[in-house]
Amino acid sequence: MPTSPAIGNAVHVSADEELRLGVSSCLLGESVRYDGGHKRDDYVVDTLGARFRLVPVCPEVEMGMSVPREPVQLVRAHGTLRMIGRDSGTDHTDEMNRFARQRANALRKLDLAGYVLKKGSPSCGMQGVQVSTDEGKSSVLGVGLFARALMEAIPLLPVEEEGRLADAVLRENFIVRVFAYHRLQTLFAGHWKVSELVAFHTREELLLTAHAASAYKKLGCIVADTRRLGREAVREQYSVGFMGALAEPAK
């Protein structure tokens, strides 16, 4: 299989290893949107689809909403964020929150390597979702209800929106994080040895320093302090620091 420049030549995954990406179903061309349409994304379907097993999720349909259906919006009322039908005023918030928590917990068991969300969606938007107020004003500071539950349930999971993947720097960073997250999860999947963590840390030196110059040394201190900190604390602190460093685009 030829290597896509969007994914790069430095990715090494065994032929029998299948990485999974969660994806908003509409991006795959599935007609699940409120108007009965879809938002097929060629990069997601053709490029990512050739490299990963794509796991489609449409929270609104999966929780029982019909196609087509009344569109929903996020509304901030009395200090809380609600998902409200645009025309009827029907409040779907509690039902969506319950579903989102359950679905996110189920996805956690699939060992996803990353997730691509639909930009601007009141359920799936990662950031900048339009939020109205009960006074009629609006802002673009919201996060979709399902997206929030997903990121809370799997906080280190690389997550992006399809719109941001059009930016070459953000796209490259997402792909780097996806494969790095998979390597990290593989390391800590079983009863890992300190020697295995040392070897992992050594292999990742150039990648870490390319993204955050001080990260390699800081993470090395965590590895060296395993006996005092304990294995669970080391796993957690190293994982958070590792993925946090890669969240910075490479210099």
User: pLDDT for 158-177, tens place per residue?
Assistant: 999 999 999 999 999 999 99
Q: What pLDDT is recorded for position 141?
A: 84
Residue 141 main-chain phi, psi, to 5 deg = -115, 5
Give residue 10's pLDDT. 37
Question: What sign for the dihedral angle of Cα 65, 68, 74, 75?
Answer: negative
Which residues in the chain land under pLDDT 50? 1-16
Q: How far apart are CA 87 and CA 60, in angstroms?
A: 17
What does the alpha-carbon distance between residue 117 and residue 109 come to, in Å, rounded to a whole number? 19
Note the pLDDT tens digit of each residue in 41-68.
Answer: 999 999 999 999 999 999 999 999 999 9
Handedness of CA 121, 107, 4, 46 (dihedral sign): negative
**How much is the pLDDT for 8?**
41
* Partners of 21 in beta bridges: 54, 114
**Phi, psi (degrees; rounded to nearest 5) at 157:** -65, 130
Q: Which residues, including other chains, have CB under 8 Å from residue 127's CB and lie 6 or more apart? A: 143, 161
Question: In whole numbers, what is the pLDDT of the chain averaged over residues?
Answer: 92
Query: What is the pLDDT at residue 64?
Result: 97
- pLDDT at 109 (0 to 100): 96
Q: Look at the pTM and tell me if it is higher than 0.85.
A: yes
Give the pLDDT of residue 17. 67
Sequence spans of domains, the chain: 20-166, 188-246
Per-residue pLDDT, 74? 96
Torsion angle (degrees, nearest 10) of CA 101, 104, 109, 112: -170
